[in-house]
Amino acid sequence: MNIHTKAVHAGDRKKQGTHIPVTTPIYTASSFVYDDIETTDKVFSHEVEGYAYARYDNPTNHALEELCTTLESGHGSLAVATGMAALEMALTTALIDRRKKIVAANALYGASINLLMKVMEPFGIETTFVDICDIDKVAAAIEEEKPGAVLMETISNPLLRVGPLDQIAKLTQAAGAALIVDNTFATPMLVRPLELGANLVVHSLTKYLAGHGDVMGGLIVSDEAHYDALRTLSRTYGPTLGPFEAYLAMRGIKTFPLRMERQCRNAITVAAFLRQHANVVKVNFLNDPEHPDRATLQRLLPNGLHGAMISFELKDAGRPEVFAFMNKLKMVVKATSLGDVHTMMLYPAMASHRDLSPKQRERVGIRDSLVRLSVGIEDPADICADLNQALQ
């Protein structure tokens, strides 16, 4: 089935006694009872399917999880409170019975780097960072560090580099390591990492999947081998998503493929506009014929879909010029986050990469002239017009 079809059918319409609700209701019950205690006992021991306690599972979350499992071609999913909780759960699941060592992409979401450096490392789990787009360096790091897990993002933030996920999956498989992929930027519309050999896929539901800037959530989609461990750990950790949020996320996902298609199309128009503008010097976007990961992109991404994230540099600009430009924007929303229906702009040097020194930022290619744009579903002419008046 096509992703558009899955998005509106998977997970919903489970029979409830006499009737079938067209969409899954919000179940607020914290626990569930059965006619006799023997059945409750069997639900607890998994002999009988059912719900016992909402930290373990709940019908609203279950519907959302079933939907996301289908979208990502997984074995099972777990919905949690935030994308960061999802990442933490994925790392813990991968490392519970493996060597406590991580190899990670050197370009990651800021909070993900903090999780590795400021939480995992003080607990004795060290991370080696590597250029994930250089397969030889990744192979050498896996050989040398013998990690229990490798962590990467499908599309990196904010420079939009794409690592050879399929080749890395072969390396991790051979080394007995788990491959964890944060697929928030790419979404299952562009890449389904489990189909390419990844073991655990992480999402911030907050972004493209929910898509409306009104709910936070995270999701882990697992292969068969890690699913039981994921759920067992979650029962103890308790990062469970609330049922109201699960409902909102599921409502958002029904139009996710439609929104994403439009956002990808808009981004092509906006990138073309930026490339020809005299006050823009560099545009990072996946349809660039000179993109450094062109071969990987052509192998892994569908034709014509290049995502909806763009980053670009303003000509002769430092922080004051970038601030002046951003203050002139009338429609584009100057806020952190991405993937919403409205177009949003963020200044990486101030937000996601704030903790790095200007020198460190320069080294990873994040100049003070760089801004990041998450293209929304508006009319692309209106997006370009707003950027154009602010670029004058």
Ligand X SMILES: *Cc1c(COP(=O)(O)O)cnc(C)c1O
Q: Which residues bind ligand X (CB under 6 A)?
A: 82-84, 109, 111-112, 153, 157, 182, 184-185, 204, 206-207, 216, 218
Question: By C-beta, is 83 or 148 nearer to ligand X?
Answer: 83
Question: By C-beta, is 127 or 157 nearer to ligand X?
Answer: 157
CB of 150 to ligand X, least distance (A): 16
CB of 3 to ligand X, least distance (A): 20
Question: By C-beta, is 175 or 222 nearer to ligand X?
Answer: 222
CB of 184 to ligand X, least distance (A): 4
Question: By C-beta, is 109 or 247 nearer to ligand X?
Answer: 109
> How crowded is the C-beta side of 327, counted as CA atoms within 13 Å?
6
CB of 84 to ligand X, least distance (A): 4
Question: By C-beta, is 84 or 220 nearer to ligand X?
Answer: 84
CB of 111 to ligand X, least distance (A): 6
Question: By C-beta, is 84 or 230 nearer to ligand X?
Answer: 84
Residues 88, 79 contacting (CB under 8 angstroms): no
CB of 93 to ligand X, least distance (A): 16
User: Residue with CB nearest ligand X?
Assistant: 83
Question: By C-beta, is 151 or 280 nearer to ligand X?
Answer: 151
CB of 205 to ligand X, least distance (A): 7
